[in-house]
Every structure is written in structure tokens, then in C-alpha cells.
Amino acid sequence: MKVAVFSTKAYDRQFLEAANSPKKHELVFFKPRLDRDTAILAAGFPAVCIFVHDQVDAQILEILASNGTRLVALRCAGFNNVDLKAAADLGITIVRVPAYSPYGVAEHAVGIILSLNRKIHRAYNRVREGNFALDGLLGFNLNGRTVGIIGTGKIGLILGQIMRGFGCHLLAYDVYQNPELETLGGKYVELPELFAKSDIISLHCPLIPQTYHLINEAAIAQMKPGMMIINTSRGALIDTQAVIEGLKSGQIGYLGVDVYEQESELFFEDLSGEIIQDDVFQRLTTFPNVLITGHQAFFTADALRNIADTTFSNIADIEEGRPCPNEICQNNI
């Protein structure tokens, strides 16, 4: 099939071309994101392939449909950027990659926890400048601490397994309870109890209307003073302004995020020579106890291979008329 690949970085091209060998599909790579201005590039392509920041609203779907596109293949799990109803009305099939790196994301969350706790990011810079003083680098043992996991699906469960290995106690909250978490010794509790008892809270639930700004002023007020918040899920789970106030008062002792509510204006691009206009983001970067990575938790070679392989198997299913297990329609979400 002829596939227009949007938001292409060199690493996407490398892994997609490797998975497409021998050249079964005709891939054309476009660097820009899919949006109102670039949708025309997909004219004549029955399939388009997109990532997390591409826009697939009703207007863009109409442009795609009128130019012959019948399939949108997401190279990611989340589909909050796709208007599923408009796609169904226009006869456009949407497929995704539901799980490509649960270990990679959980391991990255643990990396942020360890770095924040032991100030490894600060120690790295100090040692390079010949500063071997330990003041300001005091950490705490993870052993015996309580980790609250919100969302105990694939990634949350793996985080629980890793943190159990450190000797942490596990509290969890999810709308569906996962028996495997309880097998690990974890205990499901309601959110107020999780907020009150956790030394570290890690978010692993999807961004949906019910979870929008889950971590807000009221939630932060219930937390242990000086606790740590980790978000590798979606930026809008956190009310960033409320978290900034929590950091200023010391109620939040550490913040580690791989995602940010307004990240689509920033992440995945080299803006090092530009003036960043987002003052909220810039304020976050000034705290010594905040560690931010730019949506890289998924970014392992294993994940990029899985994404490429699953994307082509999804496209092949649709092209050859087989049911595709990764098709998203309104009645299977």
C-alpha cells in the first residue's frame, strides 16, 4: 500500500524502512506534522501513518477522505488526537499500536525516581566542574517507602514489579483492579488514602475527561509534605500551575515528568536556539527538584521495532481484508 508517513524523524525512517524490507509498502516520508496545511500532502495515498502530535480532527479527516485516504495508522497507543466519530462517518479506518514499550516506559519512570531522589542530574554537572561537595545531594532509601500507582494496566503493573524489587510498599488506584498487582503485595485504596500515604505517586492512567487535572490543588493538599510526583503518562493529568504552587510551598518535594500539557508546542524539536514563550514550562525548569524529559519514556530500540512491525501488520490486515485486532472504533474502547 502507498503510505504517507507524517512527523518523520530520522529514527522513524530507519525503523520503518527496516521493517518494510523487502519493500512491501511504498513509503513516502514527510517531516511536518499532519495538520490543516499539510493534509494535502496525503492526496492519492490510501494510508497515512501518524504519531502523537498529529491532528486528526473532523476537518482534516474530510480533507484526507476527499483525497482518497481510507486508513490512518497511528504509531502510538493513545488516540486522544483522533476524532473517531468523524472517521467512522467518513469510512476511514483507524488502527494503532496498543503496547510497544511498557517496560521501556516503566523503566524510564524508575530512572526519573532514582535521579530525582539521589540528585544524579545535579551530581553529574557538579563533578564535571570539579565540585565534589555533597551538600544538597541528600537522598532517601527507597526501601520501605510507599509508592502509590494510579492506573495499574501494563505500565503501572511493571512499575509496581520494579518498585517491589526495591522493597517498597505498593498502594494502587484504578477503576478496574488488576489481581496481579495484589499478587505483588499491592493494595487497592481510594484516591484520598493513596494521596495521604504515598511517598511517591506515579501516574499510569490514560488522559480521559475523568482523569483531566487529576493532580490539582485539592489533591496536592491531601498529599504527604515533601512527597514525589512522577508523570510519564499524559501531561494534562496534572494541573501544572497547581503543581508549581505545591513546589513553591514545599508540599511537593520532587516532580519528575516526561509529559507536559502544552508539550505539542515544544517536544520532539530542537528549540535550543529559540526563545521559549511558554512561561509555565520555563518556571518548571527553574526548580532544582524538578526533572523533565521530553516524552522520551517510550524511546527504546525495542519500542521502535515493535511500533514499525505492528504498524505494518495493521496495514496488511486492513489491506487484505482481515479483522485487525488493533482497529479502534467507538464501540471497542
Check binding of 256 to ligand NAD (CB under 6 A): no
Check binding of 102 to ligand NAD (CB under 6 A): yes
Distance CA 245, CA 243 (A): 5
Asked whether 152 and 204 are in contact (CB, 8 A), the reply is yes
> Which residues have a Cβ under 8 Å from the Cβ of 110 and sit 6 or more positions away?
159, 162, 163
Check binding of 236 to ligand NAD (CB under 6 A): no
Residue 8 has, within 13 A of its CA and on its CB side, a CA count of: 18
Neighbours of 313 (CB within 10 A): 16
Stretch binding ligand NAD (CB under 6 A), from 13-21, 119-127, 135-143, 172-180: 172-180
Question: Active-site residue 33, yes or no?
Answer: no
Dihedral in degrees, nearest 10, Cα atoms 14, 15, 19, 21: 10
Shortest CB 230 distance to ligand NAD, Å? 11
Check binding of 174 to ligand NAD (CB under 6 A): yes
- Closest residue by beta carbon to ligand NAD: 153
Question: Active-site residue 263, yes or no?
Answer: yes
Asked whether 181 and 172 are in contact (CB, 8 A), the reply is yes
Check binding of 150 to ligand NAD (CB under 6 A): yes
Shortest CB 58 distance to ligand NAD, Å? 23
Backbone phi, psi, residue 4, to 5°: -90, 115
Check binding of 231 to ligand NAD (CB under 6 A): no
Which residue among the candidates 263, 274, 305, 319 is catalytic per the annotation? 263
Q: Is 100 exposed, middle or buried (0-12, 13-18, 19+ CB in 10 A)?
A: buried
Check binding of 75 to ligand NAD (CB under 6 A): no
Shortest CB 258 distance to ligand NAD, Å? 5
Q: Which is nearer to ligand NAD, 173 or 254 (CB)?
A: 173
Question: Active-site residue 234, yes or no?
Answer: yes
Catalytic residues: 234, 263, 295
